[in-house]
């Protein structure tokens, strides 16, 4: 998989749950524009892709990681990315099924966001908007989509 060649923004999302991957695609289609969602089914594949980016490749505007994944979990991906200079400033969010204190502590330690997966439509509608808030001001302006009530 290569980064998008067209001048657009892209977000990385790694999760081993296929239903959550589909859900996220639907969320971003509804609430965001000018942004492509690149999905990976485990942390290892997501990290391998990110690690292969050259200095001239466009960087993701946001990286979303499920915590519990096979091969390489979200925490491991965060620790490896934060060691790399070109990923120091990329916003990363841990997106998890449960609100565990130790995971929240880890997120604070590594300066990454922390969000729990939604349980119903009320919580789900806020998700894409909450993710967009992690992006830089310029990116937010370009990808935020107004949804008709």
Partner 1 sequence: MRLTEFEELAEYAMLDVIKDQGVYIGKLKSKGKISILYQVEGFYVELTYIKYRHSIKNIRCFDSVEKIDCYIKQVDLEFLNQPFQ
33 binds partner 1 (CB under 8 A): no
Span of 15-23, 32-40, 130-138, 139-147 interacting with partner 1 by CB under 8 A: 15-23
Token pair recorded at residue 59: 């960087």
Site string for partner 1, 36-75 (x = CB under 8 A): --------x-------------------------xxx---
Span of 52-60, 81-89, 119-127, 132-140 interacting with partner 1 by CB under 8 A: 119-127
CB of 13 to partner 1, least distance (A): 15
CB of 148 to partner 1, least distance (A): 18
Pairing of strands 35-40, 62-66: unpaired
Q: Smallest Cα–Cα separation from 95: which of 111, 116, 72, 122?
A: 116
Is residue 65 within 8 A of residue 93, CB to CB? The reply is yes
126 binds partner 1 (CB under 8 A): no
**24 vs 32 by CB, closer to partner 1:** 24
Site string for partner 1, 90-109 (x = CB under 8 A): -------xxxx---------
Token pair recorded at residue 33: 């524009």
Residue 46, Cα to own-chain centre: how many angstroms? 10
Encode 38-61: b = buried (16+ Cβ within 10 Å), e = exposed: bbbbbbbbbbebbeebeeeeebbb
């Amino acid at each position: 998989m290569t980064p998008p060649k067209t001048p657009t923004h892209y977000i990385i999302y790694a999760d081993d749950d296929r239903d959550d991957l589909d859900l996220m695609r639907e969320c971003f289609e509804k609430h965001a524009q000018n942004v492509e969602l690149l999905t990976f089914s485990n942390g290892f594949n997501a990290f391998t892709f990110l690690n292969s980016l050259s200095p001239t490749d466009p960087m993701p505007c946001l990286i979303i990681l499920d915590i519990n994944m096979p091969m390489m979990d979200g925490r491991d991906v965060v620790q490896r990315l934060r060691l790399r200079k070109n990923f120091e400033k990329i916003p990363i969010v841990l997106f998890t099924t449960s609100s565990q204190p130790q995971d929240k502590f880890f997120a604070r330690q590594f300066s990454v966001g922390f969000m729990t997966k939604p349980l119903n439509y009320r919580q789900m509608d806020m998700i894409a908007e909450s993710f967009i808030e992690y992006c830089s001001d310029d990116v937010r302006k370009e990808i935020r989509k107004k949804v008709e009530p």
